[in-house]
Amino acid sequence: MQEAGLSTWVAANIGWIVVMLAVIAVAALGLAGWLAFRLKGVEQHYRALTTGTDGGNLQQVLTAHVRELRTAVDQVGELDLLARGLERAGKRHMQRLGFLRFNPFRDAGGDQSFALALTDEGGNGFVMSSLHSRDVTRVYGKPLVGWESIYPLTDEEKQAIEKAKDQL
């Protein structure tokens, strides 16, 4: 009796059963298509990861990439230390220059005398002056520490130092 009731029910609802099976089949096909699309994307990513390798497994590829990354990080660290050392050393190099030509004597012609300031970034270095007259040329040098000298500075030497300070 049960079988007769089930057969009768199936016969009475065959249209709905076919529609439901068709919906399930379309959904399954859609799901299979979506999964195939996703699988293709994963395969492309895998090929991109393994490009340039000898076809090892993903674990070997990732291990090699991590090793290369660590080597690159170490090299960047070494380069950073080198750059910082060069930056510190560069501040101590003579890099600021102030030059001024002038005429200290009214009776001598031309601006043959000069003051030259040469310093590092912090104003450590020297200022050199040359006083030219008809008979003799005298040269003077004075050390600078932090843009100052323990010796008296002439106005021209001070101007040369200011020119050196203004350089970037």
Query: Do residue 78 and residue 132 come from a single domain?
Result: no
* Domain count for the chain: 3
Q: Per-residue confidence at 151, pLDDT binned at 50, 70, 90?
A: very high
Distance CA 24, CA 30 (A): 10
For the segment 122-145, what is each residue's pLDDT rounded down to a tens digit? 999 999 999 988 788 899 999 999
Query: Do residue 12 and residue 46 come from a single domain?
Result: yes
Which residues make Cβ contacts (< 8 Å) with residue 3, sequence separation at least 6? none
Query: Do residue 41 and residue 61 come from a single domain?
Result: no
Q: Per-residue confidence at 79, pLDDT binned at 50, 70, 90?
A: very high
75 burial via Cβ count (<10 Å: 0-12, 13-18, 19+): exposed
Provide the 3-class DSSP secondary structure of residue 52. Answer: coil
Q: What is the value of pTM for the model shown?
A: 0.54
**Residue 119, both tokens:** 């310093």
Query: Do residue 103 and residue 161 come from a single domain?
Result: yes
Distance CA 68, CA 47 (A): 19
Query: Do residue 75 and residue 119 come from a single domain?
Result: no
Question: Would the pLDDT of 56 be above 70?
Answer: no
- Give me the pLDDT at residue 109, please: 66
Query: Do residue 106 and residue 148 come from a single domain?
Result: yes
For the segment 25-51, what is each residue's pLDDT rounded down to a tens digit? 999 999 999 999 999 999 888 777 777
Query: Do residue 9 and residue 37 come from a single domain?
Result: yes
Q: Per-residue confidence at 108, pLDDT binned at 50, 70, 90?
A: low
| Domain of residue 41, residue span | 1-51
- 162 versus 133: which is more confidently predicted? 162
Query: Do residue 85 and residue 112 come from a single domain?
Result: no
**Contact, 133 vs 157, CB < 8 A?**
no
Distance CA 61, CA 55 (A): 9
